[in-house]
Chain A
Amino acid sequence: MTRPRTLLVDDPVLERSPFGSSHPFRAERGALTRALLEACGALHQDEVADVERLDERLLGAVHEQAYLEALIRAGRGERVDDARMFGLGTSDCPVVPGMHRVAMRAADATVSAAELVASGAAQRAVHLTGGLHHAHRARASGFCLVNDLALAIEHLTRRRGLRVAYVDVDVHHGDGVQGIFWERADVLTVSVHQSGRTLFPGTGAEDEIGAGAGRGFAVNLPLAPFIDDAGYLAAFDALVPTALSAFGPDVIVLQAGADAHWRDPLAQLSLSGDGLDAVYGRVIDLAERCCEGRMVVTGGGGYDAWRSVPRAWARLWARLAERELPDELPETWRRAWGERLGVSLPTRLREGTLPDLDARATERAASHALAVAKRVAARLTPLWRRED
């Protein structure tokens, strides 16, 4: 029997948001996407893998003990005096009973996905409710408590001895992951995002390149608001492929946030559904070229939660698992999940409405992005040269 090449890691707990149901971070997006794939016949029972329990020591390698203690105590409803110092009890990361357990389950799931790929059980493994890239060593931030991506990367590098290229196409800068691997040369972090001058968290400028042994191993491509598909892809192509092939990863970890979509209410880029799909496709192609297709993939941001996100991530899975999806989305899925969420779900896979672009703004954003991409590539290329 041949093993499926692509596996989805999932667990019922992952449907819950650590912050409860009135918070904008919608954990149901993963289950909604999974249900859509099942309804389309694009995901089979034997392609779903269970979540394995996380090794506590891994947690300690990524997060500071004081932060973990504060998180657990806050989640247990105990008083934490310096909660705000750890980014807890803020409007983004309110203290909710049990939040630490949900967050750690999500981290378990991404590490499980990493291990499936490292062990060869899968070529690609996906965890849709992961991708919590804003969690720092000692600080919760931007809806993220535990940095599942950093844990997975730590597992792949330190335990499995693999070189990891992290590619983050969430519209927000992947600040937590970048910070945690800032001085590491065995992890290349690449983040393509809306510039910090106009968007949270503010970092991700092109001159952030890593430090010490890791100098040159943090790559940032900040983009101006309103950039469209063509502008984004041209800038991406001018920088990311060169970086990845120079680095030569054993595996790519992709944070596939869907919030660069034009409908996303939290950000201002103008990518279409087809554009996002093309971005995901680019990274998958790069994995084929650089590391025999090995990929650990997570979801991430995406706040047009019931409309753009399930479509984007269903298409992502279809690419990873090499499936075809019908353009007409199953009525059974629309009815069941529409009722459950109290929303009306899209009827088609491809969006009927495209962004209303201001030609001058998109053109300026594109021209600037290409210049930035070329500058970063020119500056970092000498640093990527490996001595072998």
Chain B
Amino acid sequence: MLVRDVMTVNVIAIGPEMPIRDVAALMEMRRVRHFPILEDDEQGEARLVGIVSDRDLRAVDSPHPSARPDVHVSDPVRSIMVTPVATAHPDDAAEDVAAWLREYRVGALPVLDGEQLVGIVSPPDLLAALALPAAIREPSSVLEVEVGNRPGCLAALLQTLAQHGLNVSQLTTTRAEPEIGCFIVRVNTIDAPRVAGNLTREGWTVLWPEPDAAPPASPQRGPEVEEVA
């Protein structure tokens, strides 16, 4: 997943001369936590020169230890903006950006394509993207199967499922150890215990659901004899 797929593109930028008090009001109104700050260079092109967060704004004229006594709400935002700015590129991996946010201890990264501001990426964007693989794509049951951590083992599982006429709509891995990986597959059947039973009888280790105990169904077979309660 790339930054361009997850970033917020309707980004509101401000100029460096806007008074801090106005910036705070605007931020309140637009319900965002960061403003990239743009300023024209000698050629008249807008350039990213800084970023300001809601936390930076709150510190002004407050008793907070990080508040600077020389800055007041009537001063331009230039006096408190963070510069230089850590940025991301639209083709960076979303997973990398998640790590950078922790590393730089910032709440958002402006996204620059060359010198042009094209978006901003923050934890809610990333969380939505990371939750996407778990979203249900079609009616399906979950199977959790141990698969050897060697070439061809996962392919063999998928091949087996295909032979049972099942479509795999999702595939995730929960752990991979030196010898064994564990995969969660979603397959298009309501009868997951029967699939688990078939897999077990074919030698797979199925962790969820509990396999049914019945032998493979044959068309001639009548209903099983039930235990009498």
Task: Report A's interface with B, CB cutoff 8 A.
Answer: 22, 24, 26, 84, 87, 90-92, 134, 136, 139, 141-143, 172, 175, 196-203, 265-266, 268, 305-307, 341-348, 351-353
Contacts and interface: CB of A to CB of B under 8 A. Distances in A.
B191 A202 contact: no
A196 B224 contact: no
Contact of B141 (A87, A199, A342): A199
Contact of B225 (A26, A200, A343): A343
B221 A22 contact: yes
B142 A197 contact: yes
Contacts of B142: 197-199, 202
A143 B190 contact: yes
Contact of A201 (B136, B193, B209, B227): B136
12 contacts: A22-B221, A91-B165, A136-B139, A142-B190, A201-B141, A203-B139, A268-B210, A307-B227, A341-B222, A341-B223, A343-B225, A344-B228
B136 A91 contact: no
B87 interface: no
A26 B224 CA distance: 13
A266 B190 contact: yes
Interface of B: 136, 139-142, 164-167, 186, 188-194, 208-210, 212, 217-219, 221-229
A90 B226 contact: no
B190 A346 contact: no
B210 to A, nearest CB: 8
B206 to A, nearest CB: 13
Contact of B209 (A22, A26, A268, A348): A268
Contacts of B222: 341-342
Contacts of B224: 343
Nearest to A344: B228
A269 to B, nearest CB: 12
Given A90-B165, A265-B212, A306 B223 contact: yes
The 9 A-B residue pairs with the shortest CB-CB distance, nearest first, are: A201-B139, A202-B136, A142-B190, A342-B222, A200-B141, A200-B190, A141-B139, A22-B219, A352-B229
| Majority SS at the chain A contact face | loop
B209 A198 contact: yes
Contacts of B189: 90-92, 200
Contact of B193 (A90, A139, A265, A348): A265
Contacts of B194: 24
Contact of B223 (A143, A172, A198, A305): A305
A202 B139 contact: yes
B191 A307 contact: no
A121 to B, nearest CB: 35
Contacts of B191: 24, 91-92, 266
A142 B186 CA distance: 14
Contacts of A342: 222-223, 225
Given A266-B192, A266-B193, 16 more contacts: A22-B218, A91-B166, A92-B191, A136-B139, A143-B190, A172-B190, A175-B139, A198-B208, A198-B209, A200-B189, A201-B141, A203-B136, A266-B190, A306-B226, A341-B222, A342-B225
A346 B226 CA distance: 9
A283 to B, nearest CB: 23
A232 B142 CA distance: 22
Contact of A92 (B188, B193, B212): B188
A309 to B, nearest CB: 11
B219 to A, nearest CB: 5
Nearest to B134: A197
A340 to B, nearest CB: 10
A255 B78 CA distance: 63
A266 B211 CA distance: 10
Contacts of B192: 199-200, 266
Contacts of B219: 22
A139 B226 CA distance: 34
Contact of A351 (B166, B167, B229): B229
A266 to B, nearest CB: 6
A216 B52 CA distance: 37
B174 to A, nearest CB: 13
